[in-house]
Amino acid sequence: MVGFDQREAVAYHVFCQSVIDNASNPVQFLPLAENTIAGYKEVHTDGSNKFIYSRFLTPFLMNYSGWAIFADGDMVCQADISELWALRDESRAVQVVKHDYQTKANKKYLGNKNENYPRKNWSSLILWNCSHPDNKVLTPEFIQGQPGSYLHRFSWLPDELIGELPIEWNWLAIEYPDNAMAKLIHYTLGTPCFKDYSNESMSECWKEAYERSNEGFD
C-alpha cells in the first residue's frame, strides 16, 4: 500500500520506480487514492495529505489476511524491499521505526503545520501483520470515528505488539543528517518535487529516481 495524493502524484510514481529498481522479487503496489476505496468516506478535516487516515485501512483492504507494507508516497527506496519483508515478526501486530525527535521546522510542504507530538512519523512506514486479531478492530467505521492522535499512536494496541524496525528503513531527510546508508529516505517535510524542497538534504536521491522513471521520454 502506498499513500497517494493528487497534489504530489509524481511522488507516488517515483517511489514505486525506486522500489522496482532495487527489488529482487516481484512487487505489487496499491495506491491509497481516496476515490478508489469503496465503502470508506473521509470525514476527518485535519491532516496534510489525502491518505493520512486511509493507511489504517490496510488490514481491512487485505481482508485481515497475510502481511502488507504501507509507505507514505514521499519516499525513495534505496535497498531491496525484500530485506524489509524479511523482518516480519508474527508476534507483533505492526512494526515501525520508533522515531524520537523534535522537528526542525514548524511548517512543511504546501504550508501545512508541522507540530511535534508523541510517536511522530511512526505511522509513515508500517509493516502490517494484517491477520493479527488485534488489527481486526480497524474497520472503515472505526477509523472514521477515531481522531488522528489515537490512530497514529497505535492506541488500539498494547505497546508490546508494536515491533521496532531499524531506523534506516524510514530515514527522515532534513530532520536527520545525510545518510548514504539509508535504505528508505522519507522526505517528510517536502518531496523534492516541490520547489521549496528541490535542493534540500538528500534531494539528489529523489531526483535520480525521478530521472529513471522518465527514461525513454524526451
Q: In this structure, is residue 204 part of a structural domain?
A: yes
pLDDT band per the 50, 70, 90 thresholds, residue 161: very high
Give residue 190's domain range: 2-213
Distances (CA, A) of 185 to 29, 63, 90, 93: 18, 29, 26, 24
**Do 163 and 89 meet the contact criterion of CB atoms below 8 Å apart?**
yes
Which H/E stretch holds residue 95? strand 94-96
Classify residue 68: in a domain, yes or no.
Answer: yes
C-alpha dist (Å) from residue 172 to 30, 114, 146, 202: 23, 14, 27, 10
- Encode pLDDT of 165-179 as tens digits: 999 999 999 999 999
Number of domains, the chain: 1
43 inside domain: yes
C-alpha cell at 199: 535542493
Give the model's confidence band at 132: pLDDT under 50 very low, under 70 low, under 90 confident, else very high: very high
209 domain residue, yes or no: yes
CATH of the domain at 106: 3.90.550.10
Cα–Cα dist 70/49, whole Å: 15
**218 within some domain:** no
Distance CA 174, CA 211 (A): 22
Residue 91: phi, psi to the nearest 5? -80, -5
Provide the grid cell at 108: 512543511
Which pLDDT score, from 0 to 100, does residue 46 have? 60
